[in-house]
Amino acid sequence: MASNEEKIRFLKSKDGKDVVIKLSEYGSKLTSDGRVMYEINKSDEQAEQEQAFTPVIEHGMMNNWTVSVPNHSTANLNYIDWIAVETNYGIHIIQVGPQKEPAAKFSLAGGERIIRAYAYECSKTKRLYIKTK
């Protein structure tokens, strides 16, 4: 499990179909179909364009949370594939997919708190949107 100081990394295959979450810097390079996987990074230019699609984190009853990406398309070629939350206990992922509202509900344990939320867009660019709480 990653501590707050360790960086959770998202890696993808060259075609973007395979995405892996690596919880620490340790270990060997990851491969997909014999090819090295690449870390998904955000450029400053992308970050500016993505402001409209930053995940929104809403607190509900008890320790239930909803993470959504308002105004995002649900079309077959441009949709949110999955939404994840990084907490002080680990990471939770919910698959979203095409034709579905880009939102996910998370029920966290007592004392668990959200550090960051992630939304992975399945499109030509395969963007990763990040919101730090």
Listed by start position, the domains of the chain span 43-132
Q: Would you say the pTM of this structure is higher than 0.85?
A: no
What mean pLDDT do residues 22-41 have?
Answer: 72
Residue pLDDT, tens place only, 59-91: 888 899 999 888 777 777 788 889 999 999 989
Computed over every residue of the chain, the mean pLDDT equals: 77
Question: Which of the pair, 39 or 101, is modelled with greater confidence?
Answer: 101
43-132 is classed CATH 1.25.40.20: no
Give the list of residues 6+ apart from residue 125 with CB closer than 8 angstroms, or none.
none
Long-range contacts of 58-63 (CB under 8 A, 24+ apart): 60/105, 62/107, 63/107, 63/108, 63/109, 63/110, 63/112
Q: Could you read off the pLDDT of 44-64 as tens digits, one per residue?
A: 445 544 555 677 888 888 899
